[in-house]
């Protein structure tokens, strides 16, 4: 017998997203998160870090698994914007490009792929560990401060280098060393700049790598190594790569453009990885609940009371009522049920087949248990689907309790708590509906 969702005839159907009112508050939270992402993704600050900080004040009502996936996938919008803005430059098949232009585009993509290798080689094995140990507000805040200071220091350093070069006459002469690279090692002025530019802009952009064509394979790999730093939560991926580009001799424009190009395969790959992990861990965008006897029950919408809103208080208890679990299957023995009855347990949870069905011999023992005042809860051992009240067993007639959306283990915990308040099966059924 396979593990399949159980579907009682005529009383059970899934609820789709169509026609179900969405939680407006959650949509507004999601839109706000998107606004934070949209603004910060284009700046050399950590968009993910900012969303982690925002989450400290504006929490979305989602699972941890969904939230971890959401933090990465939400960045796809910005990456798609990069693809649109630079479509011609990144498209090797553009009809307006000649043979030389197409060759240069393929070379650029080769450098992009090379720059992504360090992130893939180091990020994949360390990603889960970094998330587990460093995905928190203090680390994010510290990283934001550190990188803000680094940008100030580097820009001041570049400004002093520019002044030194101006005094030495590098800007005026535009001296070029052998091979066509501007003089001044990493911090030479771009050869394309003019004297008028110097007069108009005292913060003139400069560097030995003034165009993407000047970007060597070695430099592309070096910038990719700086990208690995973004594994630390709060560390901006664009910020770390821009810093790397500036330190390796790129102008601001080249460093910024190349870092956005690097984001395309990295973010698409990271998003695909997060989606795969999300679905592996049971995430789904399918049905959101079920309808039973004309009433909808939602999987995702929080309708049940829990935690501090619970009526249960165990602070003064020394022990909980005794509740056992009996697993059902074809031709199963009634001995486990008999053992719990003879041991005078307070409750028994049946992990039955399908919609919490009993094997006939076990059913007879369940009736004996009820006659002795032992509460019996019907649950199911299949992984999905509710155990419906009066579904395939007349619970009202036999005074059984249906676990509804709870699996056998959770049903056992709730039954133990419920028995601290009452032994009335109808009241306990209400608890299962609320919690």
Banded model confidence at residue 300, pLDDT cuts 50, 70, 90: low
Same domain, 217 and 335: no
Residue 84, pLDDT above cutoff 50: yes
Same domain, 313 and 186: no
Asked which of 224, 245, 280 is the last residue of a domain, the reply is: 280
pTM, two decimals, is 0.47
| CA separation, residue 188 to residues 123, 142, 206, 242, 253 (Å) | 34, 33, 6, 17, 14
Asked which of 228, 262, 280 is the last residue of a domain, the reply is: 280
Mean pLDDT across the chain = 77
Same domain, 67 and 209: yes
Asked which of 264, 280, 296 is the last residue of a domain, the reply is: 280
Same domain, 402 and 254: no
CATH number at residue 394: 3.40.50.40
Region 310-328: mean pLDDT is 89
Does the residue 293 lie in any domain?
no
pLDDT at 95: 86
Does the residue 228 lie in any domain?
yes
Same domain, 241 and 189: yes
Same domain, 341 and 376: yes
**Domain range holding 325?**
307-434
Same domain, 332 and 256: no
Does the residue 286 lie in any domain?
no
The segment with the largest mean pLDDT, out of 2-16, 57-71, 149-163, 354-368, is: 354-368
* pLDDT tens string 398-431: 999 999 989 999 999 999 999 999 999 999 999 9
Q: What percent of the chain has pLDDT over 70?
A: 75
Same domain, 264 and 346: no
Does the residue 271 lie in any domain?
yes
Residue 20, pLDDT above cutoff 50: no
Residue 325, pLDDT above cutoff 60: yes
* pLDDT tens string 249-275: 888 888 888 988 988 888 788 777 777
Same domain, 349 and 255: no
pLDDT at 307: 57
- Range name among 3-7, 71-75, 92-96, 336-340 with the lowest pLDDT average: 3-7
**Domain count of the chain?**
2
- Range name among 109-113, 125-129, 179-183, 281-285 with the lowest pLDDT average: 179-183
Residue 203, pLDDT above cutoff 60: no
Does the residue 72 lie in any domain?
yes
pLDDT at 418: 94
pLDDT at 351: 93
Same domain, 239 and 352: no
pLDDT at 206: 66
Same domain, 99 and 238: yes
Same domain, 275 and 341: no
């Amino acid at each position: 017998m396979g593990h399949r969702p159980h579907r009682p005839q005529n009383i059970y159907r899934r609820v789709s997203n169509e026609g179900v009112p969405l939680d407006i508050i959650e949509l507004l939270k999601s839109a706000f998160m998107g606004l934070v992402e949209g603004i910060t993704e284009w700046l050399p600050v950590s968009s993910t870090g900012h969303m982690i900080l925002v989450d400290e004040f504006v929490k979305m009502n989602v699972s941890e698994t969904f939230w971890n996936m959401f933090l990465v996938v939400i960045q796809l919008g910005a990456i798609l914007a990069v693809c649109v803005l630079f479509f011609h430059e990144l498209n090797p098949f553009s009809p307006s490009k000649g043979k030389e232009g197409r060759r240069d585009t393929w070379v650029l993509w080769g450098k992009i792929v090379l720059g992504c290798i360090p992130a893939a080689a180091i990020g994949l094995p360390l990603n889960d560990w970094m998330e587990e140990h460093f995905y928190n507000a203090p680390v994010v805040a510290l990283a934001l401060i550190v990188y803000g200071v680094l940008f100030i220091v580097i820009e001041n350093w570049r400004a002093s280098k520019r002044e030194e070069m101006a005094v030495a006459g590098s800007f005026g002469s535009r001296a070029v060393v052998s091979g066509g690279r501007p003089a001044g090692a990493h911090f030479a002025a771009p050869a394309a700049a003019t004297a008028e530019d110097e007069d108009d802009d005292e913060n003139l952009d400069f560097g030995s790598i003034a165009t993407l064509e000047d970007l060597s394979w070695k430099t592309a790999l070096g910038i990719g190594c700086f990208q690995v730093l973004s594994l630390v939560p709060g560390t901006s991926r664009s910020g770390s790569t821009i810093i790397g580009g500036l330190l390796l001799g790129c102008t601001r424009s080249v460093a910024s453009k190349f870092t956005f190009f690097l984001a395309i395969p990295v973010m698409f790959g990271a998003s695909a990885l997060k989606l795969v992990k999300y679905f592996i861990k049971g995430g789904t965008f399918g049905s959101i609940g079920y309808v039973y006897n004309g009433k909808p029950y939602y999987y995702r919408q929080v309708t049940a009371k829990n935690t501090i809103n619970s009526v249960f208080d165990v602070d003064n208890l020394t022990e909980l009522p005794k509740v056992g679990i009996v697993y059902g299957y074809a031709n199963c023995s009634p001995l486990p049920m008999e053992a719990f009855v003879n041991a005078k347990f307070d409750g028994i949870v049946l992990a039955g087949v399908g919609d919490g069905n009993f094997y006939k011999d076990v059913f007879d023992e369940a009736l004996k248990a009820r006659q002795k005042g032992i509460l019996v809860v019907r649950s199911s051992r299949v992984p999905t689907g509710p155990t419906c009240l009066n579904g395939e067993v007349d619970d009202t007639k036999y005074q059984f309790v249906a676990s509804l959306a709870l699996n056998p283990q959770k049903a056992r915990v709730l039954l133990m708590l419920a028995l601290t308040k009452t032994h009335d099966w109808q009241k306990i059924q209400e608890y299962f509906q609320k919690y």
